[in-house]
Amino acid sequence: MWRYTLKRMLVAVPMLLGISLLTFVLMRVTPGNYLDTIRMDPQFSKETIRHYEQLYQLDKPLAQQYIRWIYNLLHFELGYSFHYNVPVHKIIGERVWNTFVLSLSAFLFTWCIAIPLGIGAALNRNRPVDRAVQFFSYIALSFPGFFLAMIFLFWASQTGILPLGGMHSPDYDRLGMGGKIVDLLKHLVIPTRALSVGSIAALQRLMRGNMLEVLGQRYILTARAKGLPEGRVVYHHALRNAVNPLITLLGYEFSSLLSGAALIEIICSWPGLGSLMLTAVRSKDVYLVMASMLMGSILFMVGNLLADIALAKVDPRIRYD
Amino acid sequence: MIERARHLSEFQIALRNFRKNRLAVVCVYVLSVLYGGALVAGFLSPYLFKNEDRNYSYAPPTPVKIFTEGQLTRPYVPAMELTFNEYNARVYKIDLVKKYPVRFLVKGDEYRLLGIFPCRYHLFGVEAPGRFYLLGADARGRDIFSRLLYGGQVSLSIGLIGVLISFMIGLLIGGISGYYGGRLDDILMRLCEMVMMVPGFYLLLALRAAVPDSFNSVQVYFAIIIILSFMGWAGLARIIRGMCLSLREREYVLAARGFGLSDFKIVVSHILPHTLSYSIFAVMLSIPGYILGESGLSLIGLGIQDPYASWGNMLSDAMSIVRIKFAPWILWPAFFIFLTVVCFNVIGDALRDCLDPMLKAEGEAQ
């Protein structure tokens, strides 16, 4: 298992390099960088701009700039954000954490709702409950997440129960430990729901399908024939086998939430990696974009890796190495 | 009496099964209406997409009256006048004295029918000083109904063209990768994984950053199509590759090779057609992704730019949510995005169900 994990990580390195190179090229292929914005500003003297250019080697050829960035990266330096006027690592850590919190919350919410819903639907197959669940899932699947976020925000603005976007209330710092947690949870409600409605629908359908397939197996018939109580048949024999295939989805699910979170973050003004990336791209803040891409990809990859490991832990038939 | 045996091809059987799915057939009709509407948007819409009148900012849908003092008359729209209430909020007063009859085939803004023929006639509309807002007006007093039709041209076509490009790339790369195997396969698949490893929306933003600001709207439109197709091909290529790995071991491929057919020809005309039944419903199920991608990008102001309409950029008005309260009709584009996505999903699912027996049969033949 360790060997497998290590191998996966080693394979990831050249890929991350490729992604960073791609990002760098994409950012530099169009003329202009953040210094052009500063150049327009009469507050900055020519000497200051020269100084910046030399500091970040923006006057050197592109290849050299990229190599310099890699060199800095190896020293755990992510470069400097011109837009925010601070080193990139000072802002990105917090943003990664915020995105992680949002994705995790959406992820937990999705699984806690979708799995019981799928089981319930499978056990009540073709009854009105099942029909209703399937119908609403279909609608939810086609509902754009960003529209859902808008509707929820509108609803919040009308009722005033929930905060309108953001991550903390203005008086967050004055709250006690419990108050802080409640405040965070309150802010999480809208983006979490906007993110997870679609995933719940998809996951619920998969769970229902798997459950139905397993319930049709011979060993379920055997379990019933030997007189096991129905609850034990369903939750002990059927459920374990039905959940298995979903565990591969676990990581991908997390990753897709991460990607979907970007747009929701922007709409709900959640201070995460996605909204940071948008600001960075808009202001042509090269190093910030590259760092955001890198962090996003790493989170994404870790999600997938964890999924594969979890699968091997749960299903003894699967062996890596 | 001799009963004639009817022979149906696999495709005909699939079509017959598809027709049994009522919902899917309805969806096909709905989509036809949407695409047809977008195609002749200029004719169906009373105004041009950029025809604005700031006096009618966020004007509500114009009521169409057919009664005058209890008497049935031809449909007309009353004049609307902008007034302000005591809180300085906009209130549109309906002036029933001034009437503008709704006319058919009226002369109005010039547009190009089907993009070719210059034309001034619109299906319906009212005479000049009156304004007819079937679904209300947006911030600049442009007709939302007209803009929905014009926006459909962008939003609906991006899905189709995007999916076409990315499927051609995906099929070709997947086919080549699976057929040749070895080193080439390794390189191509690592490339795929690289594209798939970046969270989608981040990649979208980074790719958008590479589009120069100097591009005009048409160029941006094509740039967005290329960006979306660049993101879409990888997933398909991987699946097609997997199928080709097993297909290339078949006898007929060996035979084709024995006849001295070129590798390219074998891949294109003997291997890829076998992945067709999978590709057909995969296409349908992936179109929504393109439509949503464009909407998302336009929504945050990085897609199609004003005054050109797309469903996404029309919706960006609703980003400041207070507007939803006093002008809920700005949410119409969202409804059409939803409708389109539902239709493609239903059709895709129905296609999968009726093509699946073929997939299964192919799997068993191995």
Write out pLDDT tens, residues A66-85.
888 888 888 877 777 777 87
A11: closest chain B residue by CA = B190
Which pLDDT score, from 0 to 100, does residue A244 have? Answer: 77
Mean pLDDT over B162-180 rounds to 89
Note whether A42 and A101 are same-domain residues: no
What is the least distance, in Å, from the CA of B24 to any CA of chain A?
13
Residue A317, token pair as written in the block: 């038939």
Note whether A293 and A159 are same-domain residues: yes
Note whether A68 and A113 are same-domain residues: no
Residue B258: what are its φ and ψ, rounded to 5°? -60, -35
C-alpha A174 chain-centroid distance? 30
Residue A50, token pair as written in the block: 């020269």
Q: Find the range with the poorest average confidence among A40-49, B137-146, B153-162.
A: A40-49
Note whether A208 and A266 are same-domain residues: yes
Mean pLDDT over B197-215 rounds to 83
Q: Residue B232, SS3?
A: helix
Which pLDDT score, from 0 to 100, does residue B364 have? Answer: 38
Which pLDDT score, from 0 to 100, does residue A216 have? Answer: 85
Residue A53, token pair as written in the block: 């250019």
Do the domain assignments include residue A43?
yes
The answer to whether A233 touches A224, Cβ cutoff 8 Å, is yes
Max Cα distance, chain A (Å): 87
B189: closest chain A residue by CA = A15
* Integer Cα distance of B259 and B245 in angstroms: 21
Q: Are residues A30 and B208, on separate chains, in Cβ contact within 8 Å?
A: no
Note whether A163 and A285 are same-domain residues: yes
What is the least distance, in Å, from the CA of B189 to any CA of chain A?
11
More confident residue, A272 or B70: A272
Range of the domain at A50: 17-74
Note whether A70 and A120 are same-domain residues: no
Is residue B366 predicted with pLDDT exceeding 50? Answer: no
Interface predicted TM-score (ipTM) over 0.90: no
Q: Find the range with the poorest average confidence among A150-164, A296-310, B14-28, B63-77.
A: B63-77
The answer to whether A246 touches A110, Cβ cutoff 8 Å, is no
Domain count, chain A: 2
Is residue A86 predicted with pLDDT exceeding 90? Answer: no
The top-scoring range by mean pLDDT among A53-57, B6-10, B200-204 is B200-204
Query: Taking all residues of chain B, what is their mean pLDDT, rounded to a whole number?
Result: 82
Burial profile B218-248: b = 16 or more Cβ within 10 angstroms, e = fewer:
eebbebbbbbbbbbbbbbbbbbbbebbeebb
Helix axes A239-267, A273-282, angle to 10 degrees: 40
From the list A14, A216, A80, the residue with the least C-alpha distance to B193 is: A14
Query: Taking all residues of chain A, what is their mean pLDDT, rounded to a whole number?
Result: 83
DSSP B267: I
Q: Find the range with the poorest average confidence among A53-57, B57-61, B72-76.
A: A53-57
Instruction: Give tens-digit pLDDT for A151-205.
Output: 888 888 888 778 777 777 777 777 778 888 888 888 888 889 988 898 899 889 8
Residue B98, token pair as written in the block: 């001034």
Interface check for B129 against chain A (CB to CB < 8 A): the answer is no
Residue A162, token pair as written in the block: 């929930």
Chain A CB contacts of B292 under 8 Å are 144
Among A31, A47, A74, identify where a domain stops. A74
Is residue B32 predicted with pLDDT exceeding 80? Answer: yes
**Which amino acid belongs to residue B87?**
Y
Residue A178, token pair as written in the block: 């419990």
Do the domain assignments include residue A7?
no
Q: Find the range with the poorest average confidence among A92-96, A183-187, B130-134, B257-261.
A: B130-134
**Which amino acid belongs to residue B148?**
L
* Integer Cα distance of B283 and B165 in angstroms: 11
Confidence of residue A320 (pLDDT cuts 50, 70, 90): low
**Which amino acid belongs to residue B23?**
L
B76: Cβ–Cβ under 8 A, 6 or more apart, which residues?
Answer: B64, B65, B66, B68, B99, B100, B101, B102, B126
CB-closest option in A157, A158, A289 to B209:
A289
Is residue B362 predicted with pLDDT exceeding 70? Answer: no
Q: Residue A284, SS3?
A: coil
Confidence of residue B358 (pLDDT cuts 50, 70, 90): low
Confidence of residue B365 (pLDDT cuts 50, 70, 90): very low
From the list B183, B180, B169, B192, the residue with the least C-alpha distance to B267 is: B180
* Integer Cα distance of B309 and B348 in angstroms: 27
Note whether A266 and A126 are same-domain residues: yes
Note whether A204 and A304 are same-domain residues: yes
Is residue B29 predicted with pLDDT exceeding 90? Answer: yes
* Integer Cα distance of B103 and B128 in angstroms: 11
Q: Are residues B199 and A138, on separate chains, in Cβ contact within 8 Å?
A: no
Note whether A254 and A286 are same-domain residues: yes
Interface check for B97 against chain A (CB to CB < 8 A): the answer is no
* Integer Cα distance of B337 and B319 in angstroms: 16
Work out whether strand B65-68 and strand A86-87 pair parallel, antiparallel, or are unpaired.
Answer: unpaired
Note whether A39 and A141 are same-domain residues: no
Q: Are residues A262 and B338, on separate chains, in Cβ contact within 8 Å?
A: no
Residue B141, token pair as written in the block: 């007093």
Which pLDDT score, from 0 to 100, does residue A28 have? Answer: 79
Is residue B36 predicted with pLDDT exceeding 80? Answer: yes
The answer to whether B238 touches B174, Cβ cutoff 8 Å, is yes
Do the domain assignments include residue A34?
yes
Do the domain assignments include residue A286?
yes
Task: Sort B83 into a burial class: Cβ within 10 Å, 0-12 / 13-18 / 19+.
Answer: exposed
Is residue A38 predicted with pLDDT exceeding 50? Answer: yes
**Which amino acid belongs to residue A14?**
P
Note whether A34 and A149 are same-domain residues: no
* Integer Cα distance of B137 and A187 in angstroms: 33
What is the least distance, in Å, from the CA of A258 to any CA of chain B?
7
Which pLDDT score, from 0 to 100, does residue B363 have? Answer: 41
The CATH number that applies at residue A282 is 1.10.3720.10
A185: Cβ–Cβ under 8 A, 6 or more apart, which residues?
Answer: none
Q: Pick left, alpha or beta for residue A269 (phi over 0 → left; psi -120 to 50 → alpha; otherwise beta).
A: left
Chain A CB contacts of B320 under 8 Å are none
Q: Are residues B319 and A150, on separate chains, in Cβ contact within 8 Å?
A: yes
The answer to whether A102 touches A191, Cβ cutoff 8 Å, is yes
* Integer Cα distance of B104 and B86 in angstroms: 39
* Integer Cα distance of B248 and B272 in angstroms: 10
Is residue B361 predicted with pLDDT exceeding 60? Answer: no
Mean pLDDT over B266-283 rounds to 83
Number of residues written out for chain B:
366
Note whether A154 and A281 are same-domain residues: yes
